[in-house]
Amino acid sequence: MLIEVREVHKSFGANAVLRGSSLQIDAGEAIVIIGRSGGGKSILLKHLIGLLRPDKGSVRVGGVDIAELSERKLLPIRRRFGMLFQGAALFDSMTVAENVGFVLQRERHHTEGEIARQVLEALEMVDLPGIESKKPAELSGGMRKRVGLARAIVYRPEIILYDEPTTGLDPIAAGVIDKLIRRVWSQLKVTSIAVTHDLKSAETISDRILMLNEGRIHGDGPTAEILRSTDPIISNFVHGIPTETR
Amino acid sequence: MVENLRQRIDGALIGLGSFGMLAIEALRSLRYKRPTWLDFVRQLHFVGVKSQSVVLTTGAATGMVLCAQTYFQFHKVKMDTATGAVVSVGMCSELGPVLAALMLTARVGAAMAAELGTMKVTEQIDALRTLATHPVDYLVIPRFLACIVAAPLLTAEAIVVGILASQLVGVGLLGIEGTYYRANMIRYTAPSDVVTGLIKALIFGAIIALIACYKGLNCREGAEGVGRATTEAVVAASISILVSNFFLTLFLTRLFKGI
Ligand SMILES: Nc1ncnc2c1ncn2[C@@H]1O[C@H](COP(=O)(O)OP(=O)(O)OP(=O)(O)O)[C@@H](O)[C@H]1O
Ligand SMILES: [Mg+2]
């Protein structure tokens, strides 16, 4: 078991977002988490990497309860993760190359040439060569997202978290990203965990789907099975049928 | 009403606690982590070099008006030549460090709070954390070091410029005898007055950096959150500087002069 979330509760004031979510993920899996907008998918993802701490419950990564660790003790565990944020969250004071090479630069044991080569390689992987010296403000939303992806994969993490990797991209760019996520998963042998609304993309990038509903994991199964599920909540979501609740 | 008050007190205590945690984390980082010198130099340039015009103007204006006003009063009791001494001691131990720190708060503290606040609301701080970097190591320490290095230097500049400007006014404009002006100034200004001012500046520098970073890192959502964090940083740092200045005066005077 690589990641184990047990009965996690998280509220913001009176807004109970997670209400006893539990899930288990093995090393090497390709997972997609689906669920309504505002349902707490980003919040759940942030718990996996320790950006947020549960009010109740535990999050274990490789057997270690990360909710108990101090921010400083969490750092080596976070190094095993790469994360693509919903809004990319690029450092706007830095160039694209500095953004992508950030972790390598901070680790102090890579030469400049080596960093430049790896940055270039990562940017080529996301299909954006030649923009190294641009600032994030000069890029479109979709380009920013791909730079964020390059930043998350360049240091070869074991686990990659993607928060809506294809939202806001044109269908072709989205297809490219989906293929890329799949390729990163198969070539780099990472564990891939993505949050998305895009079921077409979910079909490409996942082997297993978890559905988050009302703060809990409602459905959990192989991708094809979930997409064909007869469970009313899941099938309504998959077919886009509005329900009475919320 | 009572409940409201209790909540506010609780909030204030929690805030004070997490501010203390930030200060402790900063000290821990200084002790165990190697600072990134490039970031430090960048911050030093921003805090030190770019604040010069503001701080020097403040120093000169203060020295001039202090000289004029002191002279107007002392002239009545025929103590014209003591003016220099008052200006010099006042600039060194009180006005130099306090006014330089207040100007730094407005220029540097506000900018720091706004910058970190914007990083916070655009999830750049979270991104930093996922990239295995502690925000205190990467963001707070370079700013903290830059402020505690730059504040005493800027204060020293403000004092020197203030005293020179006062001489210009006192001797040049108001006609005080120059030799006596300088002699009294040097006679009554102790080295401990200068040291007091520089120690204060160092502490004020630390206050500005820590409060600005704290307010930025704990910024609330949205553009409004950034605006509020900036305002709060400036207000909190200014008040802290003025209040701590009083206690520092008492403490340092006792330390150096035994009064
Ligand atoms: N920092 C925060 N403070 C208070 N409430 C928050 C915060 N972050 C998120 N929330 C609330 O938590 C809920 C879930 O947010 P989250 O971002 O996880 O949704 P999501 O499932 O990712 O939605 P989307 O698909 O639109 O990104 C929302 O109701 C949101 O208002
Ligand atoms: Mg989200």
What would the two tokens of residue A200 be? Answer: 């077409």
How far does B71 lie from chain A, in Å, by closest CA? 50
Distance CA A148, CA A153 (A): 9
How many structural domains is chain B composed of?
1
3-state secondary structure chain B: CHHHHHHHHHHHHHHHHHHHHHHHHHHHHHHHCCCCHHHHHHHHHHHCHHHHHHHHHHHHHHHHHHHHHHHHHHHHCCCHHHHHHHHHHHHHHHHHHHHHHHHHHHHHHHHHHHHHHHHHHCCHHHHHHHCCCCHHHHHHHHHHHHHHHHHHHHHHHHHHHHHHHHHHHHHHHCCCCHHHHHHHHHHHCCHHHHHHHHHHHHHHHHHHHHHHHHHHHCCCCHHHHHHHHHHHHHHHHHHHHHHHHHHHHHHHHHHHHCC
Give residue B3's pLDDT band: very low, low, confident or very high (50, 70, 90).
confident
> Does the distance separating the beta carbons of B134 and A85 come in below 8 Å?
no
Give residue A127's pLDDT band: very low, low, confident or very high (50, 70, 90).
confident
Candidate from B28, B122, B130 with C-beta closest to A78: B130
Residue with tokens 């099938």: A235
Distance CA B44, CA B108 (A): 11
Residue B140 forms part of a structural domain: yes
Residue B21 forms part of a structural domain: no
pTM listed for this prediction: 0.92
Q: Would you say residue A245 has pLDDT above 80?
A: no
Per-residue pLDDT at B105? 97
Instruction: Tell me the mean pLDDT in the region B238-248.
Output: 97
Residue B185 forms part of a structural domain: yes
The sign one gets for the Cα dihedral B73, B78, B84, B89 is negative
What would the two tokens of residue A100 be? Answer: 């992508």
Per-residue pLDDT at B98? 97
B105 touches B237 (CB < 8 A): yes
Say which range, A93-97, A239-243, B62-66, B154-158, has the weakest mean pLDDT.
Answer: A239-243
Burial class (CB in 10 A: 0-12, 13-18, 19+), B35: middle
Q: At CA A27, angle to CA A78 and CA A149, rounded to 5?
A: 50
> Which residue is closest in CA terms to ligand 1's atom 19?
A38
Per-residue pLDDT at B36? 86
Residue B229 forms part of a structural domain: yes
Residue B20 forms part of a structural domain: no
Closest CA to A52 of B130, B17, B229: B130
Residue B2 forms part of a structural domain: no
Distance CA A215, CA A20 (A): 7
What is the span of the domain harbouring residue B127? 50-257
pLDDT one-digit tens code per residue, B105-145: 999 999 999 999 999 999 999 999 999 999 999 999 999 99
Instruction: Ligand 1, residue A46: give the atom nearest the CA.
Output: 18
**Interface predicted TM-score of the whole assembly (ipTM), two decimals:** 0.91
Say which range, A48-52, A123-127, A153-157, has the weakest mean pLDDT.
Answer: A123-127
Domain coordinates in residue numbering, chain A: 30-39+83-245
Distance CA A99, CA B25 (A): 25
Q: Would you say residue B237 has pLDDT above 90?
A: yes
Cα A12 to averaged position of ligand 1 atoms, centre (Å): 9
Name the closest residue on chain B to residue A151, using Cα atoms: B131
Instruction: Tell me the mean pLDDT in the region A223-239.
Output: 90
Pairing of strands A3-12, A56-61: antiparallel
A215 touches A19 (CB < 8 A): yes
Beta carbon of A38 within 6 Å of any ligand 1 atom: yes
Per-residue pLDDT at A244? 61
Q: Name which residue leads in pLDDT, A197 or A83.
A: A83
Instruction: Tell me the mean pLDDT in the region A70-77.
Output: 93
Burial class (CB in 10 A: 0-12, 13-18, 19+), B146: buried
Cα A38 to averaged position of ligand 2 atoms, centre (Å): 7
> Does the distance separating the beta carbons of B132 and A71 come in below 8 Å?
no
A15 phi, psi to nearest 5 deg? -90, 100
pLDDT one-digit tens code per residue, B168-188: 999 999 999 999 999 999 999
Residue B129 forms part of a structural domain: yes
Per-residue pLDDT at B63? 96
> Does the distance separating the beta carbons of A102 and B131 come in below 8 Å?
yes
pLDDT one-digit tens code per residue, A4-37: 999 999 999 899 999 999 999 999 999 999 999 8
B217 touches B124 (CB < 8 A): no
Does residue A227 sit at the B interface (CB-CB below 8 Å)? no
Q: What superfamily does domain A30-39+83-245 belong to in CATH?
A: P-loop containing nucleotide triphosphate hydrolases (3.40.50.300)
DSSP assignment of A68-110? GS-HHHHHHHHTTEEEE-TT----TTS-HHHHHTHHHHHH--S
Q: Would you say residue A246 has pLDDT above 70?
A: no
Q: Would you say residue A188 has pLDDT above 60?
A: yes
Beta carbon of A11 within 6 Å of any ligand 1 atom: no
Identity at A231, one-letter amino acid code: D
Per-residue pLDDT at B218? 95
Which uninterrupted H or E stretch holds A142?
helix A141-153
What would the two tokens of residue B3 be? Answer: 């409940």
Residue B13 forms part of a structural domain: no
End-to-end CA distance of chain B: give it in Å, rounded.
45
Pairing of strands A81-84, A159-163: parallel
Cα A85 to averaged position of ligand 1 atoms, centre (Å): 13
